[in-house]
Structure 1
Amino acid sequence: MAKVHFVGAGPGDVDLITLKGYKLLSEADVVIYAGSLVNPALLKYCKEGAEIHDSAKMHLTEIVDVMEISVKSGKEVIRLQTGDFSIYGSIREQIEEMKKREIDFDCIPGVSSFLGAASSIGAEYTVPEVSQSVIITRMAGRTPVPDRESLRSYAQHQTSMAIFLSVQGIDKVVEELVAGGYPVKTPAAVIYKATWPEEKKVFGTLETIASKVVEAGIRKTALILVGDFLGQEFYYSKLYHEDFTHEFRAGKSSHAD
């Protein structure tokens, strides 16, 4: 029976779609892709004759109507979403419509841009003894953010932070983070279109990052990364320490006479 497959397209690089996602995309009869955000080069994986729809020009009902008509006609449908749709993917409303209309579906996760951004700069969000938590959030805009989830309230933890959909208000972001507790010397980076060919990387501190972003002409499609994980402080993990014993390896000291 035909169904709708929600597929995470990856952060931008066409090779970062998962193997399962690629296989489904290459076999799909109908593809509805988020044209304003998904790399259109991914469409080269579609088979000849596939029906392509750009959802940037469609509202929710139109999108779901195409899904319903296609599935009921026995066609396999791909809803090609940005990065990993589990984060700011607007997938919930589509899933609810699938259930209401009794349309069969499944979800194929992708690689999020917050992972692509960290990889592009060779960073790890969870550095031993520096930070072991990551806050993924955004600044309030046309979509509101609950007061209890404000940047200022999260900043008190001074942990690693990946801030989506907020670079257009970089000055306000910095203001809120500093007011909440981050020192002005906290390292920060802004990655524009992580993993895309046109990727840009800007590095600084909370004191300097806003002006550098303006100079770079970055106004959208960028992630703001904040935290000491970007700094020079570093400690080796226990996992690979020669004296660390675990299920698969005896520590060096355990072999001593």
Structure 2
Amino acid sequence: MKTLAETQQQASAALAPAVYIVGAGPGDPDLLTIKAQKLLAQADVILFADSLVPKPLLQMVRPDAEVIGTANKTLEEILPLMIERVRSHQSVVRLHSGDPSLYSAIHEQIQALASAEIPFEVIPGISAFQAAAARLQVELTVPELVQTIILTRISGRTQVPPSEELASLAAHRASLCLYLSARHVESAQAALMEHYDPDTPVAVCFRIGWSDEKIWVVPLSEMATVTERENLIRTTLYVISPALTAAKARSRLYNPEHSHLFRRSQG
């Protein structure tokens, strides 16, 4: 009978030499996609952002895999590692927190990999705003109340385009999910209050999906106070939305009076 290590090594042989940019999700290993789990179990090399990705996500990695933390590395150090390993016929998982399409800095990585003619694939993950909504047991698009979700951040060391300044986006009064902004929470709160009512509910979500996650639901006027009291300076998401305390509402999708391609109206 084959050992677990032998089985994993055999499975790895089927994984083509390439860089697999994998979304780790918010931190809960159970929220990894099945494809992400398979890649982690098969890859020869794992490069992971160890300041943002909790170590329990690496429990399924092969015992003989090379695991490299990148929190203390620059892109100029990370890229040659990935390129060299793939050219040596190894498979590389680049494990990012959340979903790679949001604030993951993969844009410059995929450009460099393409220029070096290194094959790569991007595997999506669950984002923190989705995990937060699940924890809060809410839908962020409630009929006749709010039908738009905005994912954004406030300007800091990385500037946002002038047309996307927070006060401008707040004018929509949509469900707004604010990333990477805890260090500038007072400015963020002031910009939001230009358009949202001070009593608008805000979920302050710290390390969603981690073992020490915390969530506070407070009025917008208390958003900065809670952040500063709890000393939240990173790994914090704010969900600002009237949907957090929405009254009873009903979608037309499953209403008996609503007909569509697969169902006739019963009204």
Verify same fold: TM over 0.5. yes
What CA distance in whole angstroms lies between the structure 2 residues aligned with 1:38 and 1:50? Answer: 17
Q: In the alignment, does 2:160 pair up with 1:145?
A: yes
What CA distance in whole angstroms lies between the structure 1 residues aligned with 2:135 and 2:210? Answer: 10
Give the structure 2 partner of residue 106 of structure 1.
121
Question: 1:232 deviation in Å?
Answer: 2.9
User: Could you say what secondary structure the match of 1:251 adopts?
Assistant: coil
Q: TM-score, normalised by structure 1?
A: 0.95
User: Could you say what secondary structure the match of 2:101 adopts?
Assistant: coil
Question: 1:235 deviation in Å?
Answer: 1.5
Query: Identity, % of aligned pairs?
Result: 38
Deviation per CA, 1:42-78: give whole Å up to 9, x if none.
Answer: 1111001100111112111211111111111111100
The one-letter code sitting in structure 1 at the alignment partner of 2:82 is: M
Q: TM-score, normalised by structure 2?
A: 0.91
Whether the 8 Å contact between 1:127 and 1:234 is mirrored in structure 2 is no
Whether the 8 Å contact between 1:120 and 1:195 is mirrored in structure 2 is no
Q: 1:46 aligns with which of 28, 37, 61?
A: 61
Question: 1:217 deviation in Å?
Answer: 3.1
User: Could you say what secondary structure the match of 1:252 adopts?
Assistant: coil
Structure 2 residues not aligned, in runs of 5+: 1-15
Q: 2:98 aligns with which of 62, 68, 83?
A: 83
User: Could you say what secondary structure the match of 1:170 adopts?
Assistant: helix
How large is the Cα RMSD of the aligned pairs? 1.1
Q: 2:256 aligns with which of 216, 233, 242?
A: 242
Deviation per CA, 1:188-212: give whole Å up to 9, x if none.
Answer: 1111011211110111111122212
What CA distance in whole angstroms lies between the structure 2 residues aligned with 1:168 and 1:24? Answer: 35
The one-letter code sitting in structure 2 at the alignment partner of 1:11 is: P
- Bigger shift: residues 39-48 or 88-97: 39-48
Q: In the alignment, does 2:36 pair up with 1:32?
A: no
Q: 1:185 aligns with which of 176, 196, 199?
A: 199
Whether the 8 Å contact between 1:188 and 1:224 is mirrored in structure 2 is yes
Matched residues, number: 252
What CA distance in whole angstroms lies between the structure 1 residues aligned with 2:216 and 2:230? Answer: 8
Deviation per CA, 1:16-35: give whole Å up to 9, x if none.
Answer: 11000100110000000011
Q: 2:227 aligns with which of 199, 213, 222?
A: 213
User: Could you say what secondary structure the match of 1:85 adopts?
Assistant: coil
Deviation per CA, 1:70-113: give whole Å up to 9, x if none.
Answer: 11111110000111010001000000110111101111111111
The one-letter code sitting in structure 1 at the alignment partner of 2:241 is: G
User: Runs ≥4 in structure 1, deviation > 3 angstroms?
Assistant: none
What CA distance in whole angstroms lies between the structure 2 residues aligned with 1:15 and 1:57? Answer: 27
The one-letter code sitting in structure 2 at the alignment partner of 1:148 is: S
What CA distance in whole angstroms lies between the structure 2 residues aligned with 1:159 and 1:165? Answer: 19
What CA distance in whole angstroms lies between the structure 2 residues aligned with 1:106 and 1:52? Answer: 19
Q: 1:166 aligns with which of 178, 181, 190?
A: 181
The one-letter code sitting in structure 2 at the alignment partner of 1:204 is: V
Whether the 8 Å contact between 1:86 and 1:109 is mirrored in structure 2 is yes
Deviation per CA, 1:234-255: give whole Å up to 9, x if none.
Answer: 41000111211122222222xx
Give the structure 2 partner of residue 124 of structure 1.
139
Q: In the alignment, does 2:34 pair up with 1:19?
A: yes
What CA distance in whole angstroms lies between the structure 1 residues aligned with 2:115 and 2:132? Answer: 36
Whether the 8 Å contact between 2:156 and 2:184 is mirrored in structure 1 is no
